[in-house]
Chains A and B, each alone.
Chain A
C-alpha cells in the first residue's frame, strides 16, 4: 500500500480538514448536549451525588401530571394564535405597502421597529403601558373614556395574560412576515395582473388566483418557521407575564427553580422536541408538499 495520496484523496483530506472545526463545534455544542439530555432523562439527576437510573419514571411523572397537559394546551393556543395573527397581519400590511403612496419608504422602515427593538426594552414599555396604577392604557380607557368601570391588571391577571402574550408576539413579529411577503409580492410578474384585467377579473379574483398561489410557498415556509420559533419561545413570555406557563416556561420552572429536577427537565425537553418534530414532518409533507 502506497502512503502517497492521489489528487482525489488529497482533495478529500483538505475538505475534511476545512469542515472539521465546524463539525467539532456542532458535535460538541449541539449533538453532545442533545445526547446527554436524552441520557439524563432516564436518571434521577443529582448535583452532589451520582445519578440513579430510574427508567421511564421521569416520563411517567410528567404525563400523569395535570399541569403538564395544561402547559401543552397553553402552548397550542399560544402557537396557533401567534402564527395565525402574525401571518394575517403581515399579509395585510404587505399588501398595503405594495401600493404606491407618499412617504412609503419611511413607513416601510418604521414598521420594522417592533421586530428590531430589543425584547427587553419593549417588554418593559408594555408593562409600563398596561400598569394598573400608573399605566397610560388604564388612564385612557378607565379615567378618560370610561370604557371600564374599574382599574385592572391586564398583564397580571391569569385570564388575560395569555392573550396579552399573544398580542405582544403578533405585534413584535409581524414585521418579519411582512418583509418576506412584500419581497415576494414585488417579484410577481405584472403581466399576470394585466392579463387578468383583460379577462375582466375583479380585485378579489386577482388576489385569489394570482397573489395567493404566488405567495403560497413563502407563506408556508414562514408559518413553519414561526411555529418552530414560537413553540420554543421563552424570553418574550417569561419577561412579559411570568404566569403564562407554556412548555418552555414550565420546563424552566421544573428544571431550575428551587430544587433542580434536571432529570425531569430533560424528559420534558425530549417530549417537547418530539412534539415539534412530529408536527414538522407532518407539515412538510402535507403543506409544503416536499
Chain B
C-alpha cells in the first residue's frame, strides 16, 4: 500500500510539471494527478460519506487522487484568500453560493470551466432560478455550479390552525392573524418566532418579507433605494409580528419552544426536518418530563404529522428564501488538475453519487437537478423524511429552491455592495433597535441608511 502511494505520489510530482509543459490538451489526463477538494461538510459522518464517494471514484479513475479537506463555512473566505496568496489553491471547492460568487468576482475562479461544465450537464436540467444565483455580473457565464440547497419557510402547527379555522400562514395578513390568535403568554404559548437579535437569522427572516413586498436595497443600476415606503411598510409589519415572539430578543435557537409545543409558527430552513422527525432530538430537549419543575408540556410524538411548512410568502407578490451550496473550480493555473476536478464533478452529478451525497441530510440538502427530485431512489431516503412529509410536500420544498431571492440580485443583476451590507449586519441591528430598544421605525431606518452609505 505504501509503495503504491509512493509510486502515485512520485508519478504525480513528476507528471504534473510534464503536463503543465504539455499545454494544449487539458481534457486528456494522461498522468496521475492529485487534487484537493475543500468541502464545508465538516461533520464526521458527512466526511465519511464523502470519503466513500471519493474511494469509489478513485477505483474508477486510478490515475486521480482526491484529497478531501474539511473547511469550516466561516473560515472558507479567509482560507481561500490565504491559499490564493500562497499559490496553493485547491482544484475544487464546495461552498455557499454568496461565497463562490464573491471569489469569482475577485478573479479567483476558473469561470470557463464552470460554464462549460454546466453546459455539459445541460442548462435546462438545472432549476433556472438556482442557476441564476451563480451567474457572473455581466451574465456571460457562471462562477460556479449549483449543487444542493435549503429553503426557508414558516413551519406551523397544522392541528392548531385547523382547530382554530385559520388559513395556512401564506400571506402577510394570515401570518399576523395567526400570530395574534395563538399568542397567549399567560399560558406560556407564543404566536411566532422571527429573528430579533442582531445576527444573520433576523436578516434571513426579514428578507423574505421584504421581497414579498417589492422592497429592495438597490435598483438595478446599483443605487441605494433602501429608504422607501415599501421597506418602511415591511419594517413596521415585521416589528408588529415580533410582538408575538417569546419575550426578549430571539434567534433560531428558540425553535426548541416549538418542539415543546409552546409556539405556533417559526421560521427555519429545511434542515429542521431531521430534528422534527427524530423523536430523540426533541425528547432530549427541555420538557416537563425531563424537568418536573417546569410547567411545560411533554414531548409530542405526533408533532411531525401535525407540522406543515409554507415555503413561499405573499403580499404584493410571492417570495421564497434559502441558500444554495455550489461547486467551483479555483484557478490553479494547472489544467491537469482542473481536468481531474471536472471529471470528479461529472461523477458527483451522476445519479447514484448525487443521491448518496444528498441523503447525508435529507430535507436540508435538496437537489438542483430537476430529474433527481423525482427520482424514486432519491425519494426513499434512509431517514424516512420523504415518507413522513409525502412526495408532494417535498416537491413543493424543492421547487422553492427555484424562487430564492436575495437583496444582492436585482432583475438578474448582481449588486456586490449588498453582500457587504449583509456581512456588517446592518439590517439585523436595525431590527434589534426597533423591536428591542423601542426606536421609531423612521429613526432606525435613517440610521441604517447612514450606515449603508458609510460602507459604500
A150 to B246, CA, bound (A): 12
Known contacts: A139-B294, A143-B295. The answer to whether A133 contacts B257 by CB under 8 A is yes
Which of A136, A143, A259 has the most chain B CB atoms inside 10 A of its CB?
Answer: A259
A48 to B296, CA, bound (A): 53
Report yes or no: B420 in contact with A132, Cβ–Cβ below 8 A: no
Asked if A158 is at the interface of the complex by the 8 Å CB criterion, the answer is yes
Report yes or no: A156 in contact with B424, Cβ–Cβ below 8 A: no
For A153, the chain B residues whose CB sits under 8 A away are: 246-249
Distance in Å: Cβ of B408 to nearest Cβ of chain A: 15
Number of B residues near A (Cβ < 8 Å) is: 33
Chain B residues 411 to 441 lying within 8 A of chain A, measured CB to CB, are: 420, 422-425, 432, 436-437
Asked if A47 is at the interface of the complex by the 8 Å CB criterion, the answer is yes
Asked if B309 is at the interface of the complex by the 8 Å CB criterion, the answer is no
Could you list some 18 contacts between A and B, CB below 8 A? Answer: A47-B81, A132-B246, A133-B257, A134-B260, A134-B294, A139-B294, A139-B295, A153-B248, A157-B436, A242-B198, A243-B198, A243-B432, A257-B423, A257-B425, A258-B423, A258-B424, A259-B420, A259-B455
Binary contact readout B247-289 vs A (1 if CB under 8 angstroms, 0 otherwise) = 1111000101100101000000000000000000000001000
For B422, the chain A residues whose CB sits under 8 A away are: 258
A242 to B432, CA, bound (A): 12
Report yes or no: B425 in contact with A152, Cβ–Cβ below 8 A: no
Closest residue of chain A to B425, judged by CB? Answer: A258
A115 to B58, CA, bound (A): 54
A258 to B98, CA, bound (A): 14
Closest residue of chain A to B263, judged by CB? Answer: A133
Chain A residues 131 to 155 lying within 8 A of chain B, measured CB to CB, are: 132-134, 136, 139, 143, 150-153, 155
Report yes or no: B286 in contact with A156, Cβ–Cβ below 8 A: no
Asked if B239 is at the interface of the complex by the 8 Å CB criterion, the answer is no
Report yes or no: A133 in contact with B188, Cβ–Cβ below 8 A: yes
Report yes or no: B247 in contact with A152, Cβ–Cβ below 8 A: yes
Asked if B293 is at the interface of the complex by the 8 Å CB criterion, the answer is yes
Known contacts: A158-B437, A243-B198. The answer to whether A151 contacts B249 by CB under 8 A is no
The 9 A-B residue pairs with the shortest CB-CB distance in the complex, in nearest-first order: A153-B248, A156-B248, A258-B424, A258-B423, A132-B247, A153-B247, A156-B249, A134-B286, A133-B246
Closest residue of chain B to A143, judged by CB? Answer: B295
A116 to B101, CA, bound (A): 47
Report yes or no: A132 in contact with B293, Cβ–Cβ below 8 A: no
Main SS at interface, chain A = loop
Closest residue of chain A to B248, judged by CB? Answer: A153
A143 to B250, CA, bound (A): 22
Report yes or no: B293 in contact with A157, Cβ–Cβ below 8 A: no
Asked if B192 is at the interface of the complex by the 8 Å CB criterion, the answer is no
A258 to B198, CA, bound (A): 12
Asked if B87 is at the interface of the complex by the 8 Å CB criterion, the answer is no
A257 to B420, CA, bound (A): 11
Report yes or no: A152 in contact with B423, Cβ–Cβ below 8 A: no
For B106, the chain A residues whose CB sits under 8 A away are: 48
Closest residue of chain A to B429, judged by CB? Answer: A253
For B198, the chain A residues whose CB sits under 8 A away are: 242-243
Distance in Å: Cβ of B208 to nearest Cβ of chain A: 21
Which of A134, A136, A155, A257 has the most chain B CB atoms inside 10 A of its CB?
Answer: A134
Asked if B241 is at the interface of the complex by the 8 Å CB criterion, the answer is no
Distance in Å: Cβ of B76 to nearest Cβ of chain A: 15
A259 to B432, CA, bound (A): 20
Distance in Å: Cβ of A187 to nearest Cβ of chain B: 45
Report yes or no: B197 in contact with A152, Cβ–Cβ below 8 A: no
Chain B residues 60 to 89 lying within 8 A of chain A, measured CB to CB, are: 81
Asked if B390 is at the interface of the complex by the 8 Å CB criterion, the answer is no
Known contacts: A47-B81, A258-B425. The answer to whether A152 contacts B420 by CB under 8 A is no
Distance in Å: Cβ of A131 to nearest Cβ of chain B: 8
For A259, the chain B residues whose CB sits under 8 A away are: 420, 423-424, 455
Distance in Å: Cβ of B119 to nearest Cβ of chain A: 32
Report yes or no: A258 in contact with B257, Cβ–Cβ below 8 A: no
Known contacts: A133-B262, A259-B420. The answer to whether A151 contacts B247 by CB under 8 A is yes
Closest residue of chain B to A157, judged by CB? Answer: B248
Report yes or no: A152 in contact with B248, Cβ–Cβ below 8 A: yes
Chain B residues 164 to 197 lying within 8 A of chain A, measured CB to CB, are: 185-186, 188, 190, 197
For A132, the chain B residues whose CB sits under 8 A away are: 246-248
A150 to B190, CA, bound (A): 13
A155 to B253, CA, bound (A): 15
Report yes or no: B423 in contact with A151, Cβ–Cβ below 8 A: no
